[in-house]
Structure 1
Amino acid sequence: MTGSPCDILDRYQQERWTAFCDEARATGMAFSPTSAGAKALAATVGFSEFVATSCIRHPRMALGLIDSNDLFKPVEEIHLGRRLAPLLESVAADHPDVPPGGLLPPLEAALRAFRRREMVRIAVRDIAGLCDLDDTMAALSALAAATIDGALALLFDRMCMIDGTPEDAAGTVQRLVVFGMGKLGAGELNFSSDVDLIFAFPANGETRGGRRPLPNEAFFTRLCRHLIQAIGENTADGFVFRVDTRLRPYGDGGPLVMSFDHMEDYYQNQGREWERYALIKAAVVAGDLEAGRGLLRRLRPFVYRRYLDFGVFESLREMKRKITAEVRRKKLHDNIKLGSGGIREIEFFGQMFQLIRGGVLPALQEPAIQTVLDTLAREGFVPQPVCRQLTAAYRFFRNTEHRLQEDSDQQTHALPSDPLPRLQLARSLGFETWDDYRRVLDDHRNRVRSHFDGLLEPEAPTAPDGDGGGKAADLADAWSLSTTTDERRRILESAGFKDAGAAALLEAFKSEPATRALSNAGKHRLARLIPRVLRAAGESDDPETVLGRMLQLLKRIQQRTSYLSLLLEYPNALSHLTRLVGASPWIAAFLSRHPVLLDELLDPRTLYAPPDPDALHAGLVRQMAAVPDDDPEYQIEALCIFRQVNTLRVAASDITNVLPLMKVSDHLSWIAETILDKVVEISWNYLVDRHGHPSCTLGGQSCERGFAVIGYGKLGGIELGYGSDLDLVFLHAADPGETEGGKRPIDNAHFFARLGQRVVHMLSAHTTAGTLYDTDMRLRPNGSSGLLVSHVNGFHRYQMEEAWTWEHQALIRARPIVGDAVLKETFSAIRQQVLCQHRETESLKTAVRDMRERMRESRLSAQPDQLDIKEDAGAMVDIEFLVQYLVLRHASNHPEITRWTDNVRLLQALAETGIVDGVTAYRLRQAYLIFRAVAHRLNLQERSTLVDGRRFRHLRDLVRSFWQQTLGPE
């Protein structure tokens, strides 16, 4: 055919369309070439020989597509399984007595005819621009799943008629499970793709009711072979989908189908890294869907380790090297999938993060690459511009892939080399010329190649190494077995360690049973890491102390060698770790208990920037969205990790003086409030699902939940520390009667008792990720002997009629944290009423003094030459009691002083009302803040609150003088 490529393409389109119109009219069916469906088909035939040939040979099929309006329906409206079912029922009805092998030809023909119609429909919608990439991939994946499931159901029923029904030992019917791997499992199938399948069945046993008993494995092996033939054999009508089963355990040499237990045992004991990589995209596509999902849940610990799996780096590097080598060896430059900067590299980019982080970030446990890239950007693991570029490139490449394959229904990924096919591809994608298309293509490939090349490259330290070569070699010698003790001491001394203690620490660490028991890979990683640790510690202000803390941490984490890999791969993380551990043994111990937090060291932007309440809430919502509602232990673990991550950020900001003390307490309180809110929500939903909603009213107002958590003590006073427990009181506003709408109604008050129990359980439960918070419920009415959850009216009566003075002192530092708005307002009104009662001065003084002395006697343990900055006379708790006394003494005349719950603002309020003169209030406030700051630093150093008795004399004298003036006896 002569002429320019553009003219030739136009003639192709016209000739194909004319040929189809002739065949359509010859059928005698009504046909309007100007209908919307006909126009869509006409726009497609010039770009797809497959569509043109299929429609010319099967005009009735094409006319049915046009008349049914199916060309304009998204995949959700097509219901492929329901459409295929009557066709397969007809096949079964027409061949009632034929064994499975004899049933295959008519089944194959029906499946292929169905496939032809749907593939034409999908291609027309795609090429004519009637849908986007996501709809095309979803439609292709749905077609594969429908045909596999339909064929499987028919073949299973027919085999059961002949060989009997497979059952387990308990007599439960067993059904095949078909797992789709790769693009099918991810719902991203391409136009002419084969399907990667793995087969399994729940349990061993044998068939019952057939000619003779047959082991389940033999039954399902035969069934799988029939299914592969029905779907994948290339007949006169072509195939439905080519089937590839090489991803199964043991590959081609393994059994075609396995029991669940056998498969789980294989992956747990013999599974390799590339199989973890493959299983990321596994999904149940046919057969017993529920059983298959259960098996995937069982395999999840193999795919996604419940920690940050940095130990996978070397395996991933090897995969990456193989990808790069294959591109060079096979000269795949013009391969849109396998070539440099192509689809495979984008998928590797996302799946690498899934393998490393998927165990601790459930949102990454998604098979679809676009969803994974969105998550990586949203969580801040990858810069958003990078994810946008990779997503744009992926969509461009996949659209190109579809156009290439839609032309002749061939599984090709190679860009054409001849001018005419090149122009056809460019035009099908909306470009005027091949050069226009190629420029965009190359831009995408260059960006993908750049991001792929940067993957897994070791991070360069921010500080120069200086004379690192020689010193690093010496420090490596200090760790080697051949080095004598004296030589080790000499090397360590030259690295900054001033005494023999460092050598002793190193020798003791080498002798640890856990160190000696490391695998060869673990010993190799440790041998590379220790010299870096020695160097970092040697450059600190207190090398021996820092080294001791670092070795203690390594002792706790070395068995999980992926954490050693993290510190090797990211030298800056090791620098941050050394800095934090050197500043605080509390942080060292915290990281030892929760090594998953080492990941936080990778990004200083978040490490030293703890989020505000709104960001905390949004972060927790995102984190919990991917946690199953029916897995309470997993929910608590996720909450524990959330608390630990954010506590570390506060501590890192604290010891580097990014946050002042008051802000530290604010952030720690916000973390607790955010977690309490989520714990109450989870507990509420759990009970409502079982028992229904309780009815609650207050003062004629309906309450949404009728439950509130009141924070006392440090939480109530917004003075929470790192190790503070939570002093809580629970209130409810239940009406008489039972819950409504649940499976098992219970008394409304009983509902709230269970709610309180569940909240306390979630807060204090021990999990592999630790515990959320220790809770103290003794401040509730009647203390430990009282109801766990009190009705707010009962709480009111108790406070007004029975509470002791010390309970009113505690109420000063109480505030509503979580719960129903009406109930929180009611509590605040009760609190003010109670605190503003008129009190007789002398009896109040006596009660406050007596309580303070009892506390001092039970808590004070200082020697004569020591000062307990919390409990000693003139110290921090004395200031708290002075403030509480003054509030209770004067609130009846100055109710505005009850507004605050923290001591600093309470002192300010006492000054503003003239109850305390401004100078004294200022000095007391400064003394209190100084005592708090010192106690806080001592806590971070894991030291007691005892200091040299000569310190802070002027502050103590001030407090004792004001105590005598205010609370001294007449």
Structure 2
Amino acid sequence: MSVPGRRSSTFTRLLRHGFTHPSDAELLLESDELAPIKADPILLDALGATADPDLALHGLVQLLEAQSAPTARRELLDTLIAAKPLRDRLLGVLGASAALGDHLARHPGDWHVLLTFEPQDLHPEVADFEQRLAEADDPVSLRIAYRRCLLSIAARDVCGTIDLAQTAAELADLATATLRAALAVARTENPEDAAACRLAVIAMGKCGGHELNYVSDVDVVFVGEAANGVEEPKALQAATRLASHMMRICSETTVEGSIWPVDANLRPEGRNGPLVRTLGSHLAYYQRWAKTWEFQALLKARPVAGDIGLGEEYVATLSPLVWGAAERENFVADVQQMRRKVVATIPLGEVERELKLGPGGLRDVEFAVQLLQLVHGRADTTLRSGTTLDALKALAAGGYIGRADAVQLDAAYRFLRSMEHRIQLYRLRRTHLVPEQETDLRRLGRSLGLRTDPVGELRREWKRHSSVVRRLHEKLFYRPLLDAVAQLAPGEARLSPDAARERLVALGYADPAAALRHLEALASGVTRKAAIQRTLLPVLLGWFADSADPDAGLLTFRKVSDALGKTPWYLRLLRDEGAAAENLARVLSAGRLAPDLLMRAPEAVALLGDGDGGGLEPRPRAQLDQEMLASVARADTAEQAVTFARGVRRRELFRTSAADIVGSYGTEEVPAPADQGALIDLVGGAVSDLTAATLGGTLRAVVRAGWGDTLPTRFAIIGMGRFGGHELGYGSDADVLFVHEPREGVGDREAADAANRVVAEMRRLLQIPSTDPPLLIDADLRPEGKSGPLVRSLTSYAAYYRRWSLVWESQALLRAEPVAGDEDLGRRFIELVDPLRYPAHGLDDDAVREIRRLKARMESERLPRGADRTLHTKLGRGGLSDVEWTVQLLQLRHGSELPGLRTTRTRAALAAARAAGLVPDEEAAVLDEAWVLASRVRNAVMLVRGRAGDTFPSTSRELAAVGRYLGYGLGHVGDMLDDYRRVTRRARTVVEELFYGA
């Protein structure tokens, strides 16, 4: 700091004592009244020892000015100089809390509460606080008395007389005494209500857990019962008035400010439920309706005011339900989902400053501890503390958490809570955000004892402790499972076999015994492989548990590790590339298709990393063609060529399915995309390109084996249906047409024989039994359908379409696109069919009626017997067929005049129809949403079951896996089905208007 002119000795002393504005401080000290401070090095040292010497001096000046007489000011100064305890307490408070400095200025005699400390004052309990609040008989005097008590707690806190846990417990005791005082005021003012009922106040949250902040909502639940001879409804009304009055006394703002809000939203049904319920009503709700998080909240329930006997009965009655909560289906998933929801509510710009709710924050510690308490507390009553640090200690003592982890977590929690306390103490405002201003950070760092470089040290310590919490948040739950089976830390308490099984069941493992065997096989021993897997497994187990089938994920991971465990790059990939391990866990636990593909080509796990393996980005068609043709060229026979081509297809199908799964689940760093259409376009394009490349490679193999370099006839494959539309799913057949044209000098018969031999051989080769997903060629959309020849010449197609073509064939040709073979022949085929699929004058009424008749007939005849129309993705209400036929009718009608409609892709055609005004924006969005959703369900079924299906699976685990792929948390299958029905119902309404003209 540069100061013009010569610095005085006082300025230099103030600067040395930590004042950031020594000039201002020097001016204050020039007054005669403050001369003793300026002259006394002890007082300057004491000011310099505070968190903010400037703030402390300013507060002291305010306090001195507020004294009513010169003798009072002299008494305060003399006592400060003579009594070190008062000096440390008073100046410590003034240097840490502007709000308490303001309180002292308004109530200048309150400094006397810091003057003497009897032994019992060092750790006051509820009764001591009640005594200090006893004289308060109205809201204003209660606030003054409350702040006076707060002053004494803060003084001992900033001086280090009490630690964090004692501070938080005393704040909870002060809150308890305040609730009792407020209820007493309410009873005094409403004696009839007081006589009509029994009312118990149950503290929840941090107050219930004896770990309250300086400024926090005080969460409560009210239980009421009728007094003798009073009807229950009347008693509950009286209890509700008393409870409301008590809440107002604490929450309302007066000239003395407010105490804190009393929050009763943790009650059954939240703010929509009655404020006061009977014990029986509470029990009925928790038995039938309560969600997992509500049992988690009850962990900290503690009777604090009113009828304590009724409150204790409440806790005893609900306790069995609390400790049985871990047996609920999807228990762990529910708790983890609630944690994710909390994080999602944080404004983006505040995430990195959030001490409480952000990643690596206080809530991560609390959620992890509570999760373990609920899982193991039913059998081990030592774990049933509502206080986080006590519960953490008990978990470590019982072997439920590693001791070293518990020590680190305890230290991190204490540091983060201390930061939170000191941030709130400054203005006595409810906040969990770390300040951004340098001055505030300096005060905060100094208040925590960081003096050399307060701001830098604070940031480093905060980052270190937050990183510890981030690392241990998941590890805490899974690490002891490995210690239980690996047995590498003799002498340390570890999970018993029963406790390990309990934990695995809570995580969703259906066969915990098998899971423990897999963990033992993976983690035991002293090899490098086992050591790396012990490091990886805690987070892998968490990702497996986030799926619908943790057992399958763990089993397949063991199989992959058995296959690749001795390969140096495999373990290095999982250890060193952050995305690889999480991507692998997501893929292995999402269903059967991707793991089955991986098990037949374990080396494809390299694709899951960030390195040179190409990653999960689907490869362009040109690269696929190049590799397919190179593979075929290396083969000695057509059968071997197709085997090689299948190998490429297997790897690329794995790449695409893995990208789809990872994109659908999201990762810890990258959330799942909101635009699900992007994933459908990715999969449809990738699978269609791969199918086309596979057919091209098979065609080259057949020609090479039978004719060498040149086939007697030009030959092209035309993709149809979803293949031509670049919309293939994992289980889709490849709809095709085959077209040929004799080369110059080759007779029609020879050319036709060659073309038919090519088609027959391609079909034979592709139908050779294999464990890979089948690639079925379907040529039923050819002229004359199944009765017609499999392959025709271009001239034959022209003759047929000119004379015999029906309207359904024009509709089918809307999706025609060359996919393999002779490019020029494919282009000329498209030129041939363009006038049919985009008729110059649109469709006449007869043609429209015929299309509608065919659609209605298909709906009635092709839907499988017993199928639910509301859930069939292809033929059901608002499904793929509904949307595609509606779009195709628009293409047939308007394609000749609107170039944007001349596309084989459904979504692109729908977007063009919307742009042209043929479909209103909202209705187009409805159709697009339904088509994307139905397509994703079909892909999900194939990914989960390993075989194609047009409707949702029937087993609960497979249904849950489909839901997880679609973005629904475990336990929300019902929401998924409801949403599907809602989306497709709206789509059907649009279809009836646009397609049927309703």
Q: Give the structure-2-normalised TM-score.
A: 0.42
